[in-house]
Structures are given as C-alpha cells and as structure tokens.
Structure 1
Amino acid sequence: MKQGKFSVFLILLLMLTLVVAPKEKAEAASSGWQPVSGISGCKIRVITDAYTYTKSATSIDAYAETNGKCGKLNYKSFGVSIVEGGDIGPQYSGYFSSRTPIKKFYFSKLPKPTGTPWAVGLSVYKGKAKGAAFVYINPQKR
C-alpha cells in the first residue's frame, strides 16, 4: 500500500512540475540606452520582441521608449533595414514622450531574409537635438 501511495505522489509531483515549470519563450532584444545629443540626460532605446526570428514568425514587433528625461520627441524612419543595405519595408514617423505604440513589421511585406543581419531602429529629434537607436536582429532564411 505504501508503494501505491508513493507512486501516486510521484505522479502528482511530476504533473505539478510540468504545469508550473516556466515555458520557453523568445528573448526580447534591446538597443540599450542611447543618448540624445542636445538634451541633457535624455536617452532612448528600441526594443523588439525577439533577437532571432524563426521561419514561423509572422512579424517583428518593436517599440521605442525614453528614460523619462526627454519631453516630447519627434521620430522619423522608425523601420527595418538590412545592415549595410538600406531601409526595407514601411518607415513610420510621429512623436512620443515615454513610449511609442508597438510597430509591426510583417515578414510577408519584407524581402526574404538571406542570412544578413537586419536592424530595427529610429531617428529622433527635438529642435536641434538629435539621436538614434538601433537593435540588430537575426531573421532566419525563409
């Protein structure tokens, strides 16, 4: 009887472990904080939902944010580019004070990845102050 209870205990423990164990998920990628020249203490960064995009990924989701010391910043050229190859896909512009809305760049509307690294980034400005932040990503060949 003791062995039966022990077996039930082990099965329940295994089931609990499978339910509670953390699921594998993609790691977000960040440009790190980049200074905006001309605005003291102002920094921006770009964050994407992953660094490596598998063949099953449908989009690159990205946003930019400030460290809260910038006020309202204008941005242009928020988009995807091929490293050493120029812009691809849509380029967004607008303004933000703390964080941009999430921008979605659909792989169906971008050139097929060839193994060359891509970058997601934007340029910001406020009067004569300027800055930029880019995060490098690795889309797998499709």
Structure 2
Amino acid sequence: MKKIVKLLAVSLGVLISFIFLNPNNAQAATSPWQKVSGAGSACKVRIWTDATTYTKRAKTVDFTIEQNGKCGKLYYTAILAPDRYFVSAPYVDGYFTSKTPIKKLSVDIFNFRSLDTTRARVEVDFTKSKSSTRNIGVAKSNWLYIHPQ
C-alpha cells in the first residue's frame, strides 16, 4: 500500500511539473526594453502581447506598452506589421505616461494570404505631441505567429 501511495505521489508531481513548466503554456511575451532616443537618453519602453501564436480562432492581438518612468508623456501609433510584405493596416493611437491599457489590433488583415503562418509584430511609432509628425523612436514586439483566419 505504501508503494502505491508513493508511486501516485511521484506521478502527480511529474504531471504537475509538466503542466506548469511546459514552455508552450507560457504564451504571453514581453519584448526587451528598447530606447526611445528622441525622448531622452534614459527613456526605454517595452511591449507586452497576450500570446506568441495566434490560432484560426484569434480575432485580435492584445498588447500594452510600458515605459520605465523616464520618458514623460509619449504619444504613440501602433500597427500589426507582417514580415516580408506590406499591408495597409488599421492602427491604434493614444498617449501614456506609465503604461497603456490593453489595446487590440485585428488579425483580419491576414485573411487574403494563403500562407500556413504569417510572422508579424506590433510596431509602435512615438512622438512627443499629438499633432507632431516628427517620429522620436520606434519599438517592436517579439515576433508573433498568426495562422490564416
């Protein structure tokens, strides 16, 4: 009886470690800190996305942009930019001083492609004011893999 209990306990421990330590479960991704040179030498931002792979059921890429507190108010325009080709894509814009709320970009722009998977990333252009056309920096998320919708 003791051997069965011990075997069950070890089996349960192995099962739990596979569930929680499996790298496929770690879907969300945060980019490394990136400099926004036009906002000062100490200004850095990073982009968090809700996943790294988006299945056929996915409708949006959810993301936030965070700064290290040394940038002041940053205005941004973000798009979902595919690798290897250009698509006129919808964008989101706004401003933040610490972290944006969760924003959404549609993956529907990839419908017309017959590729198995499209590699893309969230690309963000920064300015110091809403009316400015002078880009002060760019940040990019980690690569995302989007299956055709």
Asked if 2 retains the 8 angstrom alpha-carbon contact of 1:81 and 1:87, the reply is: no
- Alignment correspondent of 1:40: 41
- Alignment correspondent of 2:139: 133
- C-alpha distance in 2, partners of 1:106/1:23? 30
- Alignment correspondent of 2:2: 5
Asked if 1 retains the 8 angstrom alpha-carbon contact of 2:59 and 2:106, the reply is: yes
Structure 1 residues 14, 72: CA separation in 2 closer, same or farther (over 3 Å shift)? Answer: same
Q: CA deviation at 1:20?
A: 5.7
User: How is 1:41-80 mapped onto 2 (pairs within 5 angstroms)?
Assistant: 41-76=42-77, 78-80=78-80
Asked if 2 retains the 8 angstrom alpha-carbon contact of 1:36 and 1:129, the reply is: no
Structure 1 residues 81, 129: CA separation in 2 closer, same or farther (over 3 Å shift)? Answer: closer
* Structure (1/2) with the larger strand percentage: 1
Task: Point out the structure with max Rg over C-alpha.
Answer: 1
- Alignment correspondent of 2:103: 103
Q: Secondary structure at the match of 1:62?
A: strand
Q: CA deviation at 1:73?
A: 0.7
Q: CA deviation at 1:124?
A: 1.0
- C-alpha distance in 2, partners of 1:81/1:87? 9
- C-alpha distance in 2, partners of 1:7/1:31? 46
- C-alpha distance in 2, partners of 1:32/1:87? 27
| Gaps in structure 1 of 5+ consecutive residues | none
Q: CA deviation at 1:64?
A: 0.9
Q: Secondary structure at the match of 2:37?
A: coil
Which 4+ residue blocks in structure 1 deviate beyond 4 angstroms?
none
Q: Secondary structure at the match of 2:41?
A: coil
Structure 1 residues 50, 120: CA separation in 2 closer, same or farther (over 3 Å shift)? Answer: same
In the alignment, which of 123, 128, 136 is matched to residue 125 of structure 2? 123
Q: Secondary structure at the match of 1:44?
A: strand
The aligned amino acid for 2:125 is: S
Q: Percent identity?
A: 37
Q: CA RMSD in A?
A: 2.5
TM-score of the superposed pair, with normalisation by structure 1: 0.76
Structure 1 residues 116, 16: CA separation in 2 closer, same or farther (over 3 Å shift)? Answer: closer
Q: CA deviation at 1:67?
A: 1.6
